[in-house]
Amino acid sequence: MGPPSSSGFYVSRAVALLLAGLAAALLLALLVLAALYGRCARVPPSELRHRGRPDAAPSPTRSPGQPLPTGQTRPSREPAGTAASGTWRPPGPWDQLRLPPWLVPLHYELELWPRLRPNESWASTLTFTGRVNITVRCTVATARLLLHSLFLDCERAEVRGPLPSGAEDRTVGRVPVDDVWFASDMQYMVLELGGTLQPGSRYELQLSFSSLVYQDLREGLFFNVYTDQGERRALLASQMEPTFARSVFPCFDEPALKATFNITIIHHPSYVALSNMPKLGQSTKRDVNGSMWTITTFSTTPPMPTYLVAFAICDYDHVDRTERGKQIRIWARKDAITNGNADFALNITGPIFSFLEDLFNISYPLPKTDIIALPTFDNSAMENWGLLIFDESLLLMQPNDQVTDKKAVISFILSHEIGHQWFGNLVTMNWWNDIWLKEGFASYFEFGVINYFNPEFPRNEIFFSNILHNVLSEDHALVSRAVSLKVENFTETSEINELFDLFTYNKGASLARMLSSFLNENLFISALKSYLKTFSYSNAEQDDLWRHFQMVIDDQNKILLPATVKSIMDSWTHQSGFPVITLNVSTGVIKQEPFYLGKVKNETLLTHNDTWIIPILWIKNGTTQSLVWLDKSSKIFPEMKVSASDHDWVILNLNVTGYYRVNYDQLGWKKLNQQLEKDPKGIPVIHRLQLIDDAFSLSKNNYIEIETALDLTKYLAEEDEIIVWYAVLVNLITKDLVFDVNSYDMYPLLKKYLLKRLISIWNMYSTVIRENMATLQDDYLALVALEKLFETACWLGLEDCLQLSRELFKNWANHPENEIPSPIKSVILCYGIALGSDEEWDFLLNMYANKTKEEERIQLAYAMSCSKNPWILNRYMEYAITASPFTFNETNIIEVVAASEVGRYIAKDFLVNNWQAVSKRYGTQSLVTLMYIIGRTISTDLQITELQQFFSNMLEEHQRLTVHAKLQTIKNKNLENKMRNARMTAWLRKNT
């Protein structure tokens, strides 16, 4: 990447002197011109050319490349204080979120040199420099170039070309770069050229740059500081998705602008460098201080988007194996490798790759896969081609992880990221509005992979618990968003980051599953094979996927659809929310309506005119029926009528593969309730789950009466599936109920009603806990649900639960090597403190001080708030604000105490004398949060007034206005809960 070489020639002394004089004059002129026009480093705003306004006042803000003040953390989502802020410029392409289509990147030659050295006192930042040569093809004649750059100081910018084509051998010219400036709103670097690039020609942009690497920021390049083999060490890694590559090197940072990459990393010799491709070669260089550095080059990547570019520089060990001739390596701290913590992940990674290769009939195209476990990685995991990055807590097995859901979690996440090698890496969405095409399908195939390797896993129940329940709880017609968005809906880069949410992942996976269910697995996979093959190394959008599904449908005659695949699926992906379908079993009429949170009586106030094209798989009296479609607002299905017979019942949404909730008329619910009381096993587990979840959600949001949902719980004494109990308890024993002191009349009734039914399943699992917890190590649903069962039994005062808590806590306190079973550890710690004295509390505090893992410290911090002793809680909060003798940095202790049963009263009194110290320790926003926590049970305007008066001196004026509106919302919600609880209490009196 150095300057091109030139041939020498002979001249006389006279000519040489003349040439030397001319050269000196020319050099002087060039220096002047360079100072005036050629300067590429980001100039301060006062020196920027204010286009069209020569008299414009300079902006007072920091240049985007200027280092932040010491100790300041770079913002996580949007640049602050960049040169464009307050700087006027005429409207132009730099005001648009999308790059203009003037240039198409073909290839990057990228060199990075982070100044990471071992045995240093690492500050919060370190520097890196780099060079990138980008080969581009010009599509539109232009004298101005735009590409992405954020927080980079550009030190040199040149444009070479047009480049020769083929074997043509000629001198390559240069296009003058007159000016470089930055449009920071949309994160562009703008190059003003002294000539025009010609359509059809190729050019090379040569850029040199520098910036900072941050420890606390998990975007772009960042570093971790950690402990390994008793020493403090550091590593460097990258996270480019979705739009952070531009903060590492200037680039065309859009997913459709794929290119090949030749990557070079300069690093300290004691570190290993990793990137997307295998190492090609190594050499050394000496810096200006005489220090030696290693230069590692990597092979050329396939065409890929910038968000998949990946690097790591570390002092790690690895374990490896070969799968179908390709190397798989897992890199981790040396201690972790020595202890075998990476072995489980290594052993399942190769088979997952092979399964997906066979499933899609497309081989993984890279020659190797590296997977690196970082001590801290906020994104959990990232699917970079050839270099997958994980948080170590989601990849490495610890010795005490055997009786946890850790194996399943690692399997799920590995399957998800490996699935991206096809969905996302091989075929990439054109633009972020269709991000669900990669995240939704990767999430869906997690379960296909797990089911293949663990056929005994209850696939439907696990999908419901992990994916469907969560998103249905959040999705609704007015506030949520569509899965696939229109491109023009985007106006800011920050909106792209917000797409990585529950709807993209969980709703996307649910819609993929629904599509598979109403076709069949074979047609579903056939369509995906065609789609992946056609768009390999390229980009696609949602309609491309639907076309391939339609091609598969048109090639057969067994599956008949009421509309095109596009029409059906667009009704789900292009509108927000989901439908509730209601079956009248007396008439066979099904109607659909949008699901709203808190359905209102006067629905004319709501506007949601679209309907869904709904596939309905269903069972009647336990027998699967033929698929039907609801493609109108209502429709009659005579076959769904039920007779007066006690044995006649209908359940819609077989295996809960449809993305909707199901309601029935009173007779329909009555028939299902009768069947549950008579023979609950006659209804499959997944549908017992569905009935509980649908009924309580519909009752909470005014679609049915709460009594209808409660009727479904009468049979529970016969329920031996803990995941069904989990659904019941999550819906019944809510935080609002637990902390509502006004539920004193309901509590004894609820206790008597539930304990009578709970005792059977409690006895089953308490026996397992006492005798051999290891028998649950492969029971994923039990490991997930056990905590809620244990927590509820103790809250209801079941003596055996309280006694078991004492036993387990005491045994652990006396012999810390006897770990409390992980699935119930939080409950045991809490009740160990609640039932104990200051002796138990002090013991836990000492344990907290000796723990290094953040998640363990947080667990202990919450447990210490469970004390029923006011003076202990007061002392706890005092420790928190004085940071002595312990520093509680993982969580806000005042909020933790305020959220506990006794603590909310103690916290309120504590704030009277200490609110300034609390504000200083945790910020003024913490006071607002505390106000909401303390006021969680308010139900009158007088209580709001009292609370506002109490906090009046603590809050700023703008906060008071926000708080008042929020408290009104809390009050209204509590009034609704009060009415609901009154009806629950009346029902319990009749049925206890």
Hey, which residues are catalytic here? 417
The answer to whether 238 and 185 are in contact (CB under 8 A) is no
Residue among 571, 572, 592, 569 at smallest CA distance from 581: 592
- How many Cβ atoms from other residues are within 10 Å of residue 900's Cβ? 22
Handedness of CA 636, 639, 645, 650 (dihedral sign): negative
Q: Is the peptide bond before 821 cis (omega within 30 degrees of 0)?
A: no
Distance CA 847, CA 616 (A): 54
HSE-CB for 285 with a 13 A CA cutoff: 10
Distance CA 755, CA 237 (A): 52
Helices (H) and strands (E) in the chain, counts: 30, 31
- Does 420 appear as a known binding residue? yes
Residue among 319, 316, 276 at smallest CA distance from 296: 276
What are the start-end ranges of the H helices in 701-772? 706-711, 722-732, 735-738, 747-771
Residue among 190, 130, 185 at smallest CA distance from 159: 190
- Does 416 appear as a known binding residue? yes
User: Which residue's entry shows tokens 């460098």?
Assistant: 273
Distance CA 120, CA 105 (A): 39
Q: Please, what is the Cα angle at 493 between 490 and 498, to 5 degrees?
A: 80
Q: Is the peptide bond before 885 cis (omega within 30 degrees of 0)?
A: yes
Q: Where are the beta strands (DSSP E) in 7-124?
A: 103-114
The helix (run of H) or strand (run of E) holding residue 293 is strand 292-298
- Does 439 appear as a known binding residue? yes
Residue among 452, 386, 442, 385 at smallest CA distance from 414: 442
HSE-CB for 78 with a 13 A CA cutoff: 13
Q: Is the peptide bond before 242 cis (omega within 30 degrees of 0)?
A: yes
Strand pairing class (279-286; 153-160): unpaired
Q: Which of helix, strand or coil describes residue 368? A: strand
User: Which residue's entry shows tokens 């952070």?
Assistant: 244
Rounded (10°) CA dihedral 84, 85, 89, 95:
70
User: Which residue's entry shows tokens 């043509």?
Assistant: 168
The helix (run of H) or strand (run of E) holding residue 155 is strand 153-160
Indicate the DSSP class of residue 912.
Answer: H
Distance CA 437, CA 444 (A): 11
Residue among 750, 802, 692, 650 at smallest CA distance from 989: 750
- Helices 406-419 & 436-453, crossing angle to 10 degrees? 130
Give binding residues for Zn(2+) as ranges: 416, 420, 439
Give binding residues as ranges: 416, 420, 439
